[in-house]
């Protein structure tokens, strides 16, 4: 029988069902009734939240040791199948001997209870192994993080030293490149000078003290620029190479010829001391001492190299 509105009887019946205080037969009948009556279903739905909060409304209290021992003994003496088995008198889907086919019961309460019993809980041993696995994974991650951090800290000084060494090497290469670029520009100017009609060339040849010395001297009689390109033995410490121009009228010191670490010379000297006609001048290179050069009027003999202008 359907209800048009909620009454005290319907509220009481729904409350007893929600609290699980009806007998099995009464509960089965009420479930069948709720399939047809929306009023009772609504009353039962209102009571679900209140019933769920009943357990939380009571303050916690430590159970006595005797109650705990009795409960453990009761659980141990009762098998799992006896705890969760369905009574033969409970409603089962299928047929009923007196009433014929039985429809599936509509009850949020019974569905909730059935779902709880259907879930198979993990055993204590399984939970223990799961916790152990989680702790092991966390420990491995912590150890790996610690190892990576230690490795980075140890490698950091080495990496910094490598960076500094690379920067120094780069600076050296940059200076060498600049020097090479400058030498290339000077050689290009030498080639251009050789092509000028006003330039005279003297081929330097090494003399007995340093027979391997060789080079050329380019003298531009219009501008007075003298360019020396050569490959000489490295000058010992305290000495330097000096260029002289020698003519019948006398010998004139033109300037020092600084050499690179490998003995190469590439120097441009501006001079206004050209003694006489260029075609009769001899270029002389001598190895002079820094201590007494200021007092010398002639190149130190034997000469390092010499050559006559064409």
* Digit-coded pLDDT (tens) for 85-112: 544 444 455 444 445 554 444 444 444 4
Domain count, the chain: 2
* Digit-coded pLDDT (tens) for 6-29: 888 888 888 888 888 888 888 889
- Would you say residue 166 lies in a domain? no
- Would you say residue 87 lies in a domain? yes
Among 121, 137, 157, which residue terminates a domain? 121
Which one, of 232, 298, 223, lies nearest residue 266 by Cα?
A: 232
- Would you say residue 261 lies in a domain? yes
**Averaged over 194-209, what is the pLDDT?**
89
Among 121, 151, 166, which residue terminates a domain? 121
241 contact partners, CB below 8 Å, separation of at least 6: 232, 235, 256, 257, 258, 259, 265, 285, 286, 287, 288, 304
Give 242's pLDDT tier (boundaries 50, 70, 90): very high
Which H or E run includes 64? none
- Would you say residue 130 lies in a domain? no
* Range(s) of the domain holding residue 229: 196-308
Which H or E run includes 190? helix 124-194
Q: What is the DSSP code string of 136-177?
A: HHHHHHHHHHHHHHHHHHHHHHHHHHHHHHHHHHHHHHHHHH
What's residue 141's pLDDT? 92
- Would you say residue 152 lies in a domain? no
- Would you say residue 97 lies in a domain? yes
200 and 114 in a common domain: no
- Would you say residue 143 lies in a domain? no
* Digit-coded pLDDT (tens) for 252-276: 888 899 888 778 888 888 887 777 6
Among 121, 143, 159, which residue terminates a domain? 121
What's residue 121's pLDDT? 59
Indicate the average pLDDT of the chain: 80
- Would you say residue 135 lies in a domain? no
* Digit-coded pLDDT (tens) for 207-226: 988 899 999 999 988 888 89
* Digit-coded pLDDT (tens) for 152-168: 888 888 888 888 889 89
């Amino acid at each position: 029988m359907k209800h048009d509105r909620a009454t005290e009887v319907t509220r009481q019946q729904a409350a007893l069902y929600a609290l699980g205080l009806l007998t099995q037969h009464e509960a089965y009948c009420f479930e069948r009734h709720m399939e047809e009556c929306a009023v009772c279903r609504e009353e039962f739905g209102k009571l679900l939240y209140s019933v769920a909060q009943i357990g939380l409304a009571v303050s916690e209290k430590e159970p006595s040791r005797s109650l705990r021992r009795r409960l453990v003994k009761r659980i141990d003496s009762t098998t799992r199948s006896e705890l969760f088995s369905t009574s033969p008198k409970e409603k089962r889907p299928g047929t009923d001997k007196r009433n014929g086919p039985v429809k599936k019961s509509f009850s949020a309460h019974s569905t909730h209870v059935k779902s709880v019993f259907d879930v198979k809980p993990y055993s204590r041993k399984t939970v223990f192994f799961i916790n152990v696995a989680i702790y092991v994974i966390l420990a491995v991650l912590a150890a790996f993080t610690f190892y990576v951090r230690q490795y980075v800290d140890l490698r950091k000084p080495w990496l910094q030293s490598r960076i500094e060494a690379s920067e120094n090497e780069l600076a050296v290469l940059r200076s060498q490149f600049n020097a090479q670029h400058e030498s290339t520009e000077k050689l290009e100017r030498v080639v251009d000078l050789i092509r000028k009609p006003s330039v005279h060339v003297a081929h330097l040849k090494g003399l007995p003290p340093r027979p391997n010395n060789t080079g050329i001297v380019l003298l531009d009689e219009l501008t007075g620029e003298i360019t020396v390109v050569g490959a000489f033995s490295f000058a010992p410490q305290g000495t330097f190479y000096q260029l002289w121009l020698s003519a019948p009228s006398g010998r004139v010191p033109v300037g020092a010829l600084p050499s690179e670490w490998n003995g190469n010379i590439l120097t441009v000297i501006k001079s206004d001391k050209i003694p006489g006609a260029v075609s009769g001048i001899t270029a002389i290179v001598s190895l002079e001492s820094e201590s007494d050069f200021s007092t010398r009027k002639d190149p130190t003999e034997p000469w390092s190299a010499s050559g006559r202008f064409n």
